Structure 1
């Protein structure tokens, strides 16, 4: 998010739309509510690297009041973020309305430069504790099992983003082909963002050419098929919350795609994610049986984790080096198992003395900007 929009959104401006506020409410935001509505207050919430957020109290015609969550971001990245998240949350809401705050609308601010985009949803007052494993996994299993791709394919009808980074979501009939596209896209972005790394490039090419066709391709051989399931696709603890009023677990900030359901749990293997504790994966597998081949479940989980680690590296280049190295190690593990290099060939393994510490990287980055 640019400095100018951060300043503009956080400064109070008097106007006809609010009676108490520390956050500017644009006229196009007000227009998303029924005619005659009045924004009674707009209170600024947390600010992340890419967005500014607020809690709105809106009086509808007739006197009833409702609360809404507003997220604002700028420029083309802000447009993709707001539009993608609105459509992702709307898709989840169709299947599991008790799992996400009700999406309301998205749009573009009427005033100001640079161009600013917003997302509106109903406000749910939530604790920021890690979610209850059983409730989260029970709800996720229902979402995965009951959702149905509108095309019967893998992908999504509009671009969705993890953080500020767009995913490659155009439709594919094959899960193997779709995942290959996802990984190629994020590795290319990582090289553009963090610089070319020859050894990683060698590993990535071998993973794409030989490992994925064997490992992920096995899901679609011998008469097996993968059901395209709606997944959240960015499910770490900061994108979950527990209602203070009802105790229900909610998820938000979705980057949804129709994918192999097991990809959801790949994010839980990442060590920057507090949902990486084994209890979450074990609980999920009580509700959803692993795909065949069963004995390759952990290897698939590692492969999916590589995607999320590379996406983290793209979004957090100042704090992503250790995560990038983790992806390198995981690629090497899978290459050794499925497509080993001939003796005395291939890139070198990373030495402990060469590693960047994940905790050290995290210490150098503010907590609200080191996560997606």
Structure 2
């Protein structure tokens, strides 16, 4: 029988909610807490990977500043006194995975709003590419070191970082060609110029759902950073689950960059193939190499 732990009680106490008014039940990825007086429900989880939890909370807080209602609100976050465990409490949604045209349009519209440039002075935003703390895409800690250049950030902090970690001779050789040809061609200059906006960072269909009550879209389990808005679309094409209506609604707000939109999307998708190669190996390596070979061949024809 799950119980209200001290860190959970501390978080609710800071929100002026007494622990004796709470009940807790297990869910698939954490616990659901119900406030007996209001009936309001919350989601909580505890994990020993403190940096990953810290990055997730920082991601949710950064995305929530866009006021789109697209992410769960964070009630609180606490690290244990010995620093070995972290607990977070957020808003809870009863989610559906429905993928109808109406809900897909809603997700595309809300994501487009979230990708608007943040106002100057926004906490944690430096007008550069990166993020104040490391975040994790799956189990992989991302290098979010701030960069002035989007080309440098994506080349070195995303693709190059993973290529080095994987340490595969075939991928290394292809990457040298990619750096000489495809990467500069796709990232050095395009229109509209990339502005650093807050990204989800791991937006596959398993990290998106719809509130059963309102049908409003919700995204979760983020790996955020400030980057080019279209980078968030890369993984949406890797596993599917996003319809024409999603992209159509999104690009009504953010027109497709040019030239080379489709090829640039492949470059953004490549990051997730490399990440899955790093985490799981197997067939993901062939997918990554296939994209790299395709982009190298394309770049040769463009030169």
With the shorter chain as reference, the TM-score category is: 0.7 to 0.9
The answer on whether the counterparts of 1:243 and 1:249 sit within 8 Å (CA) in structure 2 is yes
Are residues 164 and 268 of structure 1, via their aligned partners in 2, closer, same or farther at CA, if it must alter by over 3 Å? same
Q: TM-score, normalised by structure 1?
A: 0.72
Deviation at 1:64, TM superposition (A): 3.8
The answer on whether the counterparts of 1:144 and 1:261 sit within 8 Å (CA) in structure 2 is yes
The answer on whether the counterparts of 1:236 and 1:267 sit within 8 Å (CA) in structure 2 is yes
Measure the CA separation in 2 of the matches of 1:198 and 1:138: 42
Q: Structure 1: which 5+ runs fail to align? A: 1-21, 48-52, 341-372
* TM-superposition CA deviations, 1:292-317 (whole Å, max 9, x none): 32xx00000000000011122333x1
Q: Structure 2: which 5+ runs fail to align? A: none
Give the greater-gyration-radius structure (CA): 1
Deviation at 1:97, TM superposition (A): 4.1
The answer to whether 1:209 aligns with 2:176 is no
Deviation at 1:146, TM superposition (A): 4.5
Measure the CA separation in 1 of the matches of 2:10 and 2:68: 25
Measure the CA separation in 1 of the matches of 2:98 and 2:162: 30
* Match runs of 1:152-191 below 5 Å: 152-181=127-156, 182-189=158-165, 191=166
Are residues 273 and 259 of structure 1, via their aligned partners in 2, closer, same or farther at CA, if it must alter by over 3 Å? same
Question: After the TM superposition, which parts of structure 1 deviate over 4 Å for at least 4 consecutive aligned residues?
Answer: none
The answer on whether the counterparts of 2:200 and 2:232 sit within 8 Å (CA) in structure 1 is yes
Deviation at 1:208, TM superposition (A): 2.2
The answer to whether 1:68 aligns with 2:35 is no
The answer to whether 1:119 aligns with 2:94 is no
The answer to whether 1:38 aligns with 2:20 is yes
The answer on whether the counterparts of 2:68 and 2:114 sit within 8 Å (CA) in structure 1 is no
* TM-superposition CA deviations, 1:236-291 (whole Å, max 9, x none): 12111111111111111111111111101111120x3423x555334422331112
* Match runs of 1:44-55 below 5 Å: 44-47=26-29, 53-55=30-32
Deviation at 1:176, TM superposition (A): 0.3
* Match runs of 1:88-99 below 5 Å: 88-99=59-70
The answer to whether 1:57 aligns with 2:34 is yes
* Match runs of 1:254-265 below 5 Å: 254-265=222-233
Aligned length: 291
Measure the CA separation in 2 of the matches of 1:157 and 1:55: 29
CA RMSD of aligned residues (A): 2.3
Are residues 100 and 159 of structure 1, via their aligned partners in 2, closer, same or farther at CA, if it must alter by over 3 Å? same
Q: TM-score, normalised by structure 2?
A: 0.88
The answer on whether the counterparts of 1:204 and 1:331 sit within 8 Å (CA) in structure 2 is yes
Measure the CA separation in 2 of the matches of 1:269 and 1:65: 38
